[in-house]
């Protein structure tokens, strides 16, 4: 980013720093600035950077890894399906269970038990709480 582009991104409406704030910022810059390199270290760093930039980068290691993963995935997907093939039945068979119709005496026995339980409930009706009684009266003509 050029200095001209950087100037466009700076908020020009920010208040200028006071002298104390400027000293604080300068102190932070001095504290976090890297130590200067000796000429020999600087030359070694430049040489390593140049070497990395000029070295030819190949996809061979990555392509080998991708190919291995693809082959393993294909084996996991297709191998089980190819070895355990189930042929469909020639004729579907259905098993139907006939619904049991209750006899008259079973219906009578069941209804007698239900009616007896309902009569017991009617005798033991508890009064509703006040708010539920109001709802019962309003909606159901309680």
Tell me the pTM: 0.26
Number of domains forming the structure of the chain: 1
pLDDT of residue 12: 58
Domain assignment of residue 72, yes or no: yes
Domain assignment of residue 98, yes or no: no
pLDDT of residue 89: 63
Domain assignment of residue 3, yes or no: no
Domain assignment of residue 64, yes or no: yes
CA–CA distance, 82 with 80 (Å, rounded to integer): 6
Domain assignment of residue 106, yes or no: no
Domain assignment of residue 116, yes or no: no
Domain assignment of residue 115, yes or no: no
Q: Distance from CA of residue 19 to its chain's centroid?
A: 51
Task: Please say if the pLDDT value at position 124 is more than 80.
Answer: no
Report the 3 state secondary structure along 6-60. HHHHCCCCCCCCCHHHHHHHHHHHHHHCCCCCCHHHHHHHHHHHHHHHHCCCCCH
Task: Please say if the pLDDT value at position 18 is more than 90.
Answer: yes
Domain assignment of residue 66, yes or no: yes
pLDDT per residue as tens digits for the range 103-122: 776 777 777 777 777 666 65
Structural domain for 76, as ranges: 17-81
């Amino acid at each position: 980013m050029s200095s001209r582009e950087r100037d466009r991104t700076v908020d020009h409406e920010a208040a200028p720093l006071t002298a104390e704030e400027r000293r604080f910022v300068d102190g932070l810059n001095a504290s976090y600035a890297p130590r200067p390199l000796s000429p020999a270290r600087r030359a070694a760093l430049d040489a390593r950077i140049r070497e990395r930039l000029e070295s030819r980068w190949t996809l061979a290691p990555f392509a080998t890894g991708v190919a291995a993963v693809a082959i393993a995935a294909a084996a996991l997907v297709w191998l089980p399906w190819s070895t355990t093939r189930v042929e469909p039945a020639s004729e579907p068979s259905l098993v139907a269970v006939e619904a049991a119709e209750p006899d008259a005496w079973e219906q009578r026995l069941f209804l007698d038990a239900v009616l007896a339980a309902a009569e017991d409930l009617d005798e033991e009706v508890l009064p509703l709480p006040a708010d539920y009684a109001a709802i019962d009266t309003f909606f159901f003509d309680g």
